[in-house]
Amino acid sequence: MKEYTTTRQLMERYSVPGLVLRLGVPAMVGQVFNLLYSIVDRIFVGRIPGTGEQALAAIGICAPALTAVSAFAYMVGIGGASLMSISLGQGNQRRAQQALGNAFWLVIAIAVAVTAVLLPLHRPLLYLLGCSDALYPYAGAYFTIYLLGTVASLLGVGMNQFLLAQGYARQGMIAVVLGALANLVLDPLLIFGFGLGVRGAATATVLSQCAMAVYVLYQLRRPGMPVRLRPCRPQSALCRRIVAIGSMSFLITLLDNLIIILLNIVLRRYGGAQGDAWITGATVVQSFLTIVFCPSQGITTGCGTLFSYNYGAGNVKKVRQSFLWVFVLCAAYIGLMELAVQTAPAWFAGLFLQDETLLTMASLCLRRYTLVLLGVAVQYALVDGLTAMGKVRFAFPLSVFRKLVYLGCLFLLPRLGGVEAVFYAGSLSDLIGAGFSAVAFFTVVWPRLRRELEAMKPDPACQNRPERV
């Protein structure tokens, strides 16, 4: 079968369920490999003779700040890719080209600015995040080297969204796998072979991100790419639109980090002498949720072009089908993970812990936190689908409502049932958040969106005009 050469040909050749599998599964696999960056670093760093525990703790101190830095890449990548796909759906090839070019310059500008601001301020920032004098030599070294690779990191992650948006999910997956495998090879070589310790871990990560960025930029520059990366003049209006669409993913990342910090504060306050043990249990829960949420986000990111392209084309039927089948794929994966953790929580806890007392406590935490995990599939399908169409005013309240419910439960439950009850906050917010999102979507959001789509009348001449390669 002849390969498609344009996004329109891809959308016309396959059914929506087929496209969800074709685009969502490779992106999901890519996110699984993306987890290897942090996991591999921590595995090798923890085995550094004599200083492994301190170095591992130092990486944990750096993690929230580095996650916030990466959020800029997703902000520009998701915002720009959505705008590009909407433009393609409208038959506006020129605007799609401009969206890609402006996103490229925007990523570079943000990366340079972040590096310039954080490098001189990294010491007080790390101490603000909980660093001590004993940990600073390791945290400072890791954080500084990582920051020096910010341009490559943001380019690789941010611009990879444009491969996914054009239907090149396999190439997007290869980009992530390439970086993860490079990191897997370089980590032991630099940490132990060259004796660089935690500096070697940071250097390996930066070099791996450079490899990913080079591959992504090569793919976007090659002649066969439907929307090819070309030099263009930055336009402030387009940059503002990109940021407006992508800002939600950035804000949600910051809120998630804040929630983790507040959870630890509550557990320490109500946990008494076992406060550290309960925080360990919460860490295991968050590690498991990362295994669940990252691949799920890969599905919705890979399928984002289904929403944005068909929205731009005014295709009500395919937008509706996209919501349905993205939910089905997310629900299949998340439901499987929920069943597994409810059946064998000790197995998942055992991936991170060896102490029997902590294993029992962490297993209890996992079971209580994930009772209604399937509700997250509703959130991913609706919130990320609306974001891909640029409907942030609808998506943001749906996402924030669930987090507000979580915060309310976080502070109320320990007063009613003690520290153990805190872990029901996840299940209650999943249940209430999913119910609220579904009701709000079907009664308020979808009727308005359907009327808007039906009112859109794309120019037939524009729709039938071949896209330029």
Asked if the model's pLDDT at residue 469 lies above 50, the reply is no
* 8 A C-beta contact, residue 201 and residue 54: no
Highest mean pLDDT among 233-247, 321-335, 344-358: 321-335
Burial degree of 48 (CB within 10 A; 0-12, 13-18, 19+): buried
Q: Which residue has the higher pLDDT, 390 or 218?
A: 218
Compute the distance between CA of residue 101 and CA of residue 180 in angstroms, rounded to an integer.
27
Pick from 200, 161, 180, 174: nearest CA to 44:
200
The mean per-residue pLDDT over the stretch 242-265 comes to: 82
Q: Convert the pLDDT of each residue in 115-169 to its tens digit.
A: 999 999 999 988 887 777 888 898 899 999 999 999 999 999 999 989 988 888 8
What pLDDT is stored for residue 303 in this prediction?
87
> Of 228, 240, 249, which Cα lies nearest the Cα of 396?
249
Query: Tokens 């919501």 identify what position?
Result: 323
Give the pair of three-digit tokens for residue 124.
């007080």
Q: pLDDT by residue (tens digit) across 27-59?
A: 888 888 777 666 777 677 777 787 776 777 777
Q: Looking at residue 468, what is its pLDDT?
A: 38
- 380-436 pLDDT tens trace: 999 999 988 888 889 989 989 999 999 999 999 999 988 889 999 999 999 999 999
Average of per-residue pLDDT across 275-280: 74
